[in-house]
Amino acid sequence: MAYSDKVLDHYENPRNVGVLDKNDPNVGTGMVGAPACGDVMRLQIKVSADGVVEDAKFKTYGCGSAIASSSLVTEMMKGKTLEEVGQIRNKHIADELALPPVKIHCSVLAEDAIAAAIADIKAKRGETDKEAAVAS
Partner 1 sequence: MSSLNIPIYMDYSATTPVDERVAAKMAECLTNQGHFGNPASRSHPFGWNADELVEQARDNVANLLGANSKEIVWTSGATESDNLAIKGAARFNIKKGKHIVTLKTEHKAVLDTCRQLEREGFEVTYLDPLENGLLDLEVFKAALREDTTVVSIMHVNNEIGVIQDIAAIGKITRERGIIFHVDAAQSPGKVVIDVNEMNVDLMSLCAHKVYGPKGIGALYVRRKPRVRLEAQIHGGGHERGMRSGTLPTHQCVGMGESFRIAQEEMASENERMRVLRDRLWNGFSDMEEIYLNGDLEQRIPGNLNVSFNFVEGESLIMSMKDIAVSSGSACTSASLEPSYVLRAIGRNDELAHSSIRFTIGRFTTEEEVDFTIKQTRQAVEKLRDLSPLWDMHNEGIDMDSVEWAAH
Query: Least distance to partner 1 from the beta carbon of 104, Å?
Result: 7
Contact 116, 136 (CB under 8 A): yes
- Phi then psi for residue 34, to 5 deg, are -155, 140
What residues form DSSP beta bridges with 45? 28, 56
- Rounded to whole angstroms, the Cα distance separating 32 from 41 reads 5
Please say if 63 is a catalytic residue: no
Interaction between residue 10 and partner 1 (CB under 8 A): no
Ranges within 34-53 binding partner 1 (CB under 8 A): 34-42
> Could you say whether residue 30 binds partner 1 (CB under 8 A)?
no
Given the complex with partner 1, which of 17 and 52 has the nearer CB atom? 17
CB of 131 to partner 1, least distance (A): 15
**Which of 88, 103, 115, 118 forms a contact with partner 1 (CB under 8 A)?**
103
Distance CA 134, CA 136 (A): 7
Cα(107)–Cα(27) distance, integer angstroms: 22
Select from 32-40, 74-82, 86-94, 118-126 the region that touches partner 1 (CB under 8 A).
Answer: 32-40
Q: Which amino acid is at 23?
A: N
Residue 106 is a catalytic residue = yes
Closest CA to 71 of 85, 60, 84: 60
Catalytic residues: 37, 106
Q: Which residues bind partner 1 (CB under 8 A)?
A: 3, 11, 14, 17, 19, 31-42, 59-67, 101-105, 108-109, 112, 134-135
